[in-house]
Amino acid sequence: MVHRIGWLRAAVLGANDGLVSTASLVVGVAAAGSGRPEILIAGLAGLVAGAMSMAAGEYVSDSSQTDAEQADLARETKELKETPDAELDELAGIYIRRGLDEGLARQVAVQLTRKDALGAHARDELGISETVTAHPIQAALVSAVTFAAGAVIPLIISLLAPASQISVVIAATTLVALAVLGGLGASAGGAGIVKGAVARHVLWRTCHGRNCSRRHGFWRHGMIESQLFAPEAMLR
């Protein structure tokens, strides 16, 4: 399971973000009275921009983590060369705090130091290992692909659904798709499928509710402004 954490996190985040953000964008454009071509263009633009943004964000984030890990390893390498005895005591102290008695902790620290001193300190002192280290390119590609895959769903619905029912059909379809994605993500991560599906359901209801309330507020605000600033002849 541990070796899947990096790409699984990027995949779940990308798919859910692509689905929710694109669905909200399409619903908002459709509610404004736009036609099907305008809705599809807006959704496609959101897909491309979102996928590129997610990929860039994941790459920068994971690259920053990689830089920090490399800096920690460089500092640890220097300390092992300059103060090997102190580093050995530090490693033994870590094992003592984890429950080993002093003699056994010292023996384990000595043996691990002889085999791979930097690896032992990286794993047990710094928490860095090959299974959990960052992979910027992998995270960027997975995030972009899964974002696009999630964003395609509302675009397909916009293309097939009746023009007058696009908002309703997308809302219902997105709710189902989020539940499915939540179940799949939870299953891949070893968690409960129902819990993951319910969490995505709450997420969508929250996002969609805020989106609808904003549109309604903008509409009312626009109507009030049009009445306040319209010429007197138009109000008669």
Taking the C-alpha atoms of residue 10 and residue 118, their distance in angstroms, rounded to an integer, is 29
204 closest CA partner among 14, 12, 17 = 17
Q: Identify whether the C-beta of residue 112 lies closer than 8 Å to the C-beta of residue 75.
A: no
Largest pairwise CA distance in the chain: 95
134 closest CA partner among 68, 53, 57, 51 = 68
- Our measurement of the distance from residue 104's CA atom to the centroid of its chain's CA atoms, rounded to an integer in Å, reads 42
Residues of the chain falling short of pLDDT 50: 1-2, 196-197, 211-236
152 closest CA partner among 13, 58, 23, 8 = 23
What's the confidence (pLDDT) of residue 225? Answer: 33
Q: Taken in order 110, 115, 120, 122, is the CA torsion positive or negative?
A: positive
What's the confidence (pLDDT) of residue 226? Answer: 32
What's the confidence (pLDDT) of residue 124? Answer: 87
Q: Identify whether the C-beta of residue 22 lies closer than 8 Å to the C-beta of residue 50.
A: yes
How far are the Cα atoms of 5, 11, 13, 47, 207 from residue 56, in angstroms, in the given order?
19, 14, 14, 14, 24
What's the confidence (pLDDT) of residue 191? Answer: 56
